[in-house]
Amino acid sequence: MAEAERIIGTPDTPEAAGGAEPEQSDSGSDAARQDARGEQDARGEQDEQASPDEQDSADEQKPKGKRRILVLFAVAVFAYALDLVSKMIVVAKLEHHEPIEIVGDWLRFEAIRNAGAAFGFGEAFTVIFTCIAAAVIVVIARLARKLYSLPWAIALGMLLGGALGNLTDRIFRSPGVFEGAVVDFIAPKGFAVFNLADSAIVCGGFLIVILSFRGLDPDGTVHKD
């Protein structure tokens, strides 16, 4: 009887042995799946960490751009106000009077009306210069949306303030709208008479040339040709 049970039970032994191998295989696949899940979780954590950093970088750029725009308009308002006040004083105190010598014959204040461009050039094209000044203002306003460079903000602010100063004269001064003569009063010896708006435009343009040669773009990037 024991011999019969041994013979009958013999086939169960390979099954038991064979069953052990699938269990090992299942445990191995479970470990592989756990490793894969661990890698996915690690990648997910990295993505979660990277996304806030990228969002923070984008959030930092927005206030920076707004500050540069504020600088641009602050410089423009200062240049415009300085030019406007100086012209009001010149018209009230100096026009139709003898020139005032500041540094002997080398520099004096002399009130004149200029229908041309900066430094008295092109008096026959007053309307054209008025349109150009208006176009410059529009271009600067559009460019301000992509402005992230402080030097460019200062340069464009000087251009904007100077253009607004002379454009105000061309619109509101005689002989008529868009044909008004600009008030000039700074008269160096041997040079054309100009005003503070002309000075702001020239200084802003000169700064833009320097920034362009240095490879600095208005958006703050630097390129090398």
Strand ranges in 82-171 using DSSP code E only, listed in sequence order: 100-103, 107-114
Q: Which residues touch 171 (CB under 8 Å, ≥6 apart)?
A: 130, 177, 178, 180
Answer yes or no: 198 catalytic.
Answer: yes
Distance CA(39)–CA(1), nearest Å, equals 58
Catalytic residue among 35, 59, 198, 219: 198
Distance CA(133)–CA(161), nearest Å, equals 11
Paired strand residues for 187: 108
Catalytic residue among 12, 56, 184, 225: 184
Q: Sign of the C-alpha dihedral, residues 166, 169, 170, 175?
A: negative
Rg of the chain over CA atoms, in angstroms?
39
How much helix, strand and coil, in percent to the nearest 5, is found in the chain?
Answer: 70, 10, 20
Answer yes or no: 53 catalytic.
Answer: no
Distance CA(29)–CA(19), nearest Å, equals 16
Paired strand residues for 48: none
State the catalytic residues. Answer: 184, 198
